Amino acid sequence: MLEIPESATLASQAENLLAGKKITQVIPAASPHKFAFYHGDPALYPELLTGRQVRSATGHGMFVDIHLDGDVCLTFGEGTNLRYFAPYEKKPEKHQLLAVFDDGSFIVCSVAMYGAIFAFSGELDVSYYQLSLHSTSPLEDRFDETFFENLFRSVTKDLSLKALLATEQRIPGLGNGVLQDILFNAGLHPKRKMSTLSDFHKGELFHSLKVTLQNMTDKGGRDTEKDFFGKNGGYRTILSKNTLKDPCPNCGETIVKEAYMGGAVYFCPSCQALK
């Protein structure tokens, strides 16, 4: 799933490869998918996008924006797999959108479980998108300890750390995937309540959040996700489906997985004891 490290990585790769190229062909919704969400009628995407030149690409939260001339944007959201192909490569038959460029290269967007593909001119009036677009990312300097403390103060209920950090888009793009290593590096259990944290624990959590996300981004995303070329990211996850039942790198205890809040959490029962 697209989270902060992946949206940043995909945007950087897309800008490097696509800037200056013109779209010559668009094939939308070739494979109908009831959980592929479009902005408006995808049948109109060829008219909107064909002939447009790529200006830049940006990532924010769980979205990647490819900015085109004429104030047109092609946006991909969480759950959409975005892949670049060289001119000599074969075009796949199944996809939710395919765009060909003037040098013969093309991008393919596919949705497995669910995903968003938005083509629009001007502003996109989608609440999650706008929240992500105008939020402060943990990768920015202005996401500092004061900003983090205000996040705690903005919540009235005594939430668990997973509920605080990875629900309600309080930090857009910080989802259940990246959360696991953030909490491991801070030595905190995902079910631990906010009220049990000392100032020291908050400081450790803040530091871990900033450093872990930056490390994931610097290494091109997590090894559980794909980049623009279909390759796994270079960041090796500590806690994920890849490491389940592996020994904890700190203490040797077996990493465990539990169902919690509609998803799975991974943790070391020794290093992240629930207090």
Q: Which two tokens stand for residue 113?
A: 């479980």
Pair type for strands 256-260 and 115-121: unpaired
142 C-beta neighbours (distance < 10 Å), count: 8
Q: For residue range 99-140, list pLDDT tens digits in order.
A: 999 999 999 999 988 999 999 999 999 999 999 999 999 999
Domains of the chain: 4-133 (3.20.190.10), 145-267 (1.10.8.50)
Per-residue pLDDT of 57-103, as tens digits, reads 999 999 999 999 999 999 999 899 999 999 999 999 999 999 999 99
Residue 187, C-beta contacts closer than 8 angstroms, at least 6 positions apart = 204, 271, 272
In sequence order, what are the beta bridge partners of 118? 75
- How do strand 36-38 and strand 115-121 relate by DSSP bridges? parallel
111: tokens are: 């949705």
pTM, to two decimals: 0.95
C-alpha dist (Å) from residue 22 to 103, 106, 118, 164, 209: 8, 11, 18, 42, 38
